[in-house]
Amino acid sequence: MTDRALAVVRAGALTTVQDRGRPGHAHLGVPRSGALDGPAATLVNRLVGNPPEAAVLETTLNGCAVRPRSTVTAAVGGAPCPVTVDGRPAPWGAPVLVPAGAVLDIGTAISGLRTYVAVSGGITVDPVLGSRSTDLLSGLGPPPLTDGAVLPLGTPTELHARVDVAPQPAPPAELVLRVTPGPRDDWFTREALRTFMSRTYRVSPASNRIGLRTEGPALERAVPGELPSEGMVLGAIQVPPDGRPVVFLADHPTTGGYPVIAVVRTQDLAAAAQAVPGTPVRFTEVGRR
């Protein structure tokens, strides 16, 4: 019987298993999780013939290296980076055959932050609440990759896409996030609201899968004190006591007590996943509740 598995040669700074996440469990205190750049994860799955819900690897900044125990088709997308198979250059954004025992090396991102790696058959670690995603906040799902770990693979079901290269959006030079104000925008002064919608922030190095933190002008409160904890959604922009907005991403807490000044349109969050520290961030209003 063929050994369908990946051995981790180099885990990288932070590499996790991700799929479409586990929506519908917020009432249990479980975040959605899942790939931060959903379109990139879906594309690499399509390139190797996987269904869109198959689990992939999400790497952060400096990639990873894996060795399949049987011949597989792989595809690398998301943040552009060098790709090699046993030291020989291989294409990024296209299917590539990786022989059994060869090392597929995903290098440091040239631009952007998160690179996605799909392998034919998908990664078949045991699901938790219907998902194979690693959740860094709750600890559900498989742990982040470590050197020497072995990941099981499923059986390929379709032929991979036959393309030379698949077009993918470039990581943002400036992150423009469309937002709907509220539900707690009335907790801020009018000047703070003007500042929020008109000034430029920057992505903080303290950002992670839980939230994109920003650096820039502090937003002044009109209402002192704190709220009782209330439900939080993907894309909610909380303003902690330092006054700098935090955009909640896939591993965000399901409740929180800091006021939410606005909510980002879901379609804009994939770009947020690729925004490196220092990237300018602007918030623009597109609708009011």
- Whole-number pLDDT of residue 167: 78
- pLDDT 10s digits, 23-33: 998 888 898 99
pTM of the predicted model, to two decimals? 0.94
In this structure, are residues 17 and 125 in contact, taking their beta carbons and an 8 Å threshold? yes
DSSP 71-129: -EEEEEEES---EEETTEEE-SSS-EEE-TT--EEE---SSSSEEEEEETT-B-PPPBT
Q: What's the rounded Cα separation, in Å, for the pair 270 and 217? A: 24
Whether 289 has a pLDDT exceeding 70, the answer reads no
Average pLDDT over all residues of the chain: 94
User: How is the beta sheet containing 72-78 ordered, strand by strand?
Assistant: 15-18, 56-60, 114-119, 72-78, 96-98
Whether omega for the bond prior to residue 183 falls within 30 degrees of 0, making it cis, is: yes
- Whole-number pLDDT of residue 1: 42
- Output the CA–CA distances (angstroms, integers) from residue 6 to 46, 49, 126, 205, in the order listed: 19, 18, 15, 31
- Whole-number pLDDT of residue 2: 64
Of the listed ranges 13-22, 66-75, 151-160, 194-203, the one predicted with least confidence: 151-160
175-285 CATH, one of 3.20.20.120, 2.40.260.10, 2.40.100.10, 3.40.50.150: 2.40.100.10
Query: Mean pLDDT over residues 102-107, rounded?
Result: 98
Domain boundaries, the chain: 5-152, 175-285
**Residue matched to tokens 């995603």:** 133
- Whole-number pLDDT of residue 225: 82
**Residue matched to tokens 């959740």:** 135
- Whole-number pLDDT of residue 164: 65
- pLDDT 10s digits, 138-183: 899 999 999 999 999 999 987 777 776 677 888 899 999 999 999 9
- pLDDT 10s digits, 175-224: 999 999 999 999 999 999 999 999 999 999 999 999 999 999 999 999 98
